[in-house]
Amino acid sequence: MVGIKDVAEAAGVSVATVSRVLTKHTNVRPIVRDRVLEAVKQLNYRPNLVARSLRSQQTKTIGLIVSDIRNPFFSSISRAVEDTAYEQGFSVLLCNADENPEKEALYLNLLRDENVAGVIFSPTLHAINNFKDLRLDLPIVIIDRSTKNGSVDSVLLDNVTAAFQLTTHLIENGYRRIGAIFGVPSMTAIERQQGYEEALQAHSLIVVSKLIKHVQPKLEAGYMATQEFLEMAQPPDAIFTGNGLLGAGALTAIREHNWAIPDQIALVTFDETHWATLVQPAITVVAQPTDEIGKIATELLLQRVAEPERPARKIILQGKLLIRGSSAARNPSLL
């Protein structure tokens, strides 16, 4: 293994000088710099990042904690995070916490032990509430979930507005009994439900508690909840799901019952996915700007790493309503 010492020797300088040209902290004479660079190339020297981290007390790694990377929402964010991080010379450690507070704590600790520069985190409600217990000195950027704690950077969707738009769209297209399925527990669900209810109220519709379901944010849960909806004596005429997995579950159930979309039941969901455009009719969704979320979160994090005392920011992005066939205007004769 060729070390900095070898380079120093080859270039006829001290190790300190080599380190200086490589980390460009201080001035070194151009002639010397070139000699060092030449030696580096000659020997194919590559600094040992572990040693560097130990001495400098900082790593070029960030942690990313999501619930499950298989969720396309998080895959997409993670891709944006990795790209952005890499551009700035950072690597990313991936953690799947499964919405499990214990796993979250474990990973958070692990990441601290690894001395990561910071963490991008999509925490459970539990983690948010017990934030101070974790007593994390780490820079953190929260994504997708809002927190009252104003002292932490976050990048979020304007969930209330997005849910309001999605619901309003349904109402305007003639739907009246809108069943809603939210993934709990999370602030995100609460906000989305709020938008849903506000839209109903804005159109003088009453909020029917039987038409609101709180389930785990999983495909199976969406499937079950939808089944229950479809088997009600007075089933809803539209279903609104709070995320892509629930949407997939809902669609599965609708298919199984052989109900026609949107004639017998409309379907809209949060999160854009491949399948939403491939099925027929295509599904109306609110697309989240995942690329932007990932990119901004990473930038925010790296800025905080560079300047720890910077006041925290909360970036709120807007969803994009993509209207498709699954929520087409209801046949007036049915009204």
Partner DNA sequence: GGGTTCATTGTAAACGATTACAAGAAACTT
Partner DNA sequence: AAGTTTCTTGTAATCGTTTACAATGAACCC
Site for DNA, rule CB under 7 A = 1, 3-5, 12-20, 22-23, 25-29, 31-32, 45-48, 51-52, 54-57
Q: Alpha-carbon distance 335 to 145, whole Å? A: 38
Q: Alpha-carbon distance 335 to 333, whole Å? A: 6
Q: Which two structure tokens, joined as six digits, stand for 11?
A: 């270039």
Considering beta carbons, is residue 58 or 277 the nearer one to DNA? 58
41 binds, among its own copies, DNA, none (CB under 5 to 8 A by kind): none
**Which of 14, 23, 26, 115 forms a contact with its own copies (CB under 8 A)?**
115
Q: Are 139 and 308 in contact (CB under 8 A)?
A: yes
Nearest partner of 200 among 180, 171, 161, 232, judged by Cα: 171
Question: If binding means CB under 8 A, how many residues of this protein chain bind its own copies?
Answer: 44
**Which of 65, 157, 251, 302 forms a contact with its own copies (CB under 8 A)?**
251
* Residues of this chain, 172-191, that bind its own copies according to CB under 8 A: none
201 binds, among its own copies, DNA, none (CB under 5 to 8 A by kind): none
**Which of 59, 122, 167, 193 forms a contact with its own copies (CB under 8 A)?**
59
Question: Would you count residue 51 as binding its own copies (CB under 8 A)?
Answer: yes
3-state helix, strand and coil shares in percent for the chain, rounded to the nearest 5: 50, 15, 35
Q: Alpha-carbon distance 64 to 78, whole Å? A: 8
Pairing of strands 140-143, 178-183: unpaired
**Which of 207, 214, 275, 322 forms a contact with its own copies (CB under 8 A)?**
275
20 binds, among DNA, its own copies, none (CB under 5 to 8 A by kind): DNA
Q: Which two structure tokens, joined as six digits, stand for 46?
A: 């590559």
At its nearest, how many Å lie between DNA and the CB of residue 47? Answer: 4
Question: Would you count residue 47 as binding its own copies (CB under 8 A)?
Answer: yes
Segment near its own copies (CB under 8 A), from 19-27, 223-231, 251-259, 325-333?
251-259
Nearest partner of 143 among 222, 228, 84, 220, judged by Cα: 84
14 binds, among DNA, its own copies, none (CB under 5 to 8 A by kind): DNA
83 binds, among DNA, its own copies, none (CB under 5 to 8 A by kind): its own copies
Question: Would you count residue 273 as binding its own copies (CB under 8 A)?
Answer: yes
CA dihedral 6, 9, 15, 19 (to 10 degrees): -70
Cα 284–chain centre separation? 21
* Residues of this chain, 83-102, that bind its own copies according to CB under 8 A: 83, 91-96
Question: Would you count residue 53 as binding its own copies (CB under 8 A)?
Answer: yes
Quickly list DSSP for 152-176.
Answer: SEEEEE-HHHHHHHHHHHHHHTT--
